Amino acid sequence: MNKSHFPVIAVCVVLLWTGAAMAQPAKPSQAAGCESCHGAGGDSQKADTPRLNGQQSGYLLTRLKEFLDPTRGTPHANKMMWENATTISANDAAALADYFRRLAPPRRSGIGAQAEAGRRIFRQGAGPAIAACATCHGQDGEGTGGTPRIAGQHKDYVMQQLQAFMLTARVGTPMNHHAWDMTEEQMQQLAAYLSNN
Ligand code: HEC
Ligand code: HEC
């Protein structure tokens, strides 16, 4: 190696190393507890536990606050999340929301006739009562601000939430009236389109 090149190469190595370190967001200490249920890197492998990787931070924060009010959550959410939500400070919640938001998001994998029917409802709505989901959740279900990413979520979890909105077990959101008019088949189609199992 030409000696005059050494400083340039050293700087490049440091820059590459810093770049690699920045690709993985810094992990807050409480995240390990969350990941014991929500999976390593938030990529849950349990069908009834939502993926948090790539989730919108505004939504994550809203949801964490909602778990503090048992009248707003499903019995399952109250059982699983009450203790977690009550033990984190606002600062820690913000750090966790930022951490999960920056992890690589899951992808949709739904294919086949059922998913195709779901895609149509997602983009165009169905009848006068069911609005196009894409209007709020984004063209590909990526979400924005307080509206959640739903692309790449577990099929069972999406079904459970749509049913909870329909039964008004999860309340106070714009989702209830969309779900009231859905048939079981339409829910299955939407979940098949959005999910990655
Ligand atoms: C004991 C297991 C468990 C632990 C630990 C846990 N969660 Fe959860 N969490 C769940 C389950 C199960 C649900 C789904 C509840 C339902 O059915 O609505 C959930 C739901 C959530 C949701 C709602 C996601 C969505 O898409 O609406 C957020 C946000 C969340 N958890 C964040 C956290 C954070 C942050 C931590 C760590 C401080 C944490 N969770 C720890 C089990 C857990
Ligand atoms: C008017 C805007 C709007 C429309 C249209 C809409 N949503 Fe939502 N959706 C929301 C908001 C906001 C939330 C978060 C509610 C909360 O925090 O409780 C949500 C939550 C959800 C959730 C729960 C996600 C989670 O991680 O727990 C699912 C599933 C969902 N919507 C599916 C759909 C589907 C399928 C459609 C189309 C039939 C649709 N939404 C149409 C705004 C909308």
State whether the Cα torsion 105-109-114-120 is positive or negative.
positive
Shortest-distance ligand to the CA of residue 129: 2
pLDDT tens per residue, range 77-135: 989 998 888 899 999 999 999 999 999 999 998 889 999 999 999 999 998 889 999 99
Q: Residue 10 pLDDT more than 60?
A: no
CA 148 to chain centre: 6
Q: Ligand 2 centroid to 157 CA: how many Å?
A: 13
Residue nearest ligand 1's atom 1 by CA:
80
Going by CA atoms, what residue is nearest to atom 8 of ligand 2? 175
Which of ligand 1's atoms lies nearest the C-alpha of 161? 18
Q: Is the CB of 110 under 6 A from ligand 2?
A: no
Band (pLDDT 50/70/90 cuts) for residue 75 is: confident
Confidence of residue 70 (pLDDT cuts 50, 70, 90): confident
What's the gap in Å between 10 CA and the centre of ligand 1?
Answer: 44
Give the mean model confidence (pLDDT) for residues 25-31: 92
* Cβ of 38 below 6 Å from ligand 1: yes
- Could you give the dihedral angle defined by the CA atoms of residues 137, 143, 149 and 155, in that order, rounded to the nearest 10 degrees? 20
Identify the band that residue 172 occupies on the pLDDT scale cut at 50, 70 and 90: confident
Dist. CA 50–CA 142, nearest whole Å: 15
Say what the pLDDT of residue 173 is.
Answer: 85
Within a 13 Å sphere around the CA of 55, how many CA atoms are in the beta-carbon half?
Answer: 26
Whether 187 contacts 162, CB under 8 Å: yes
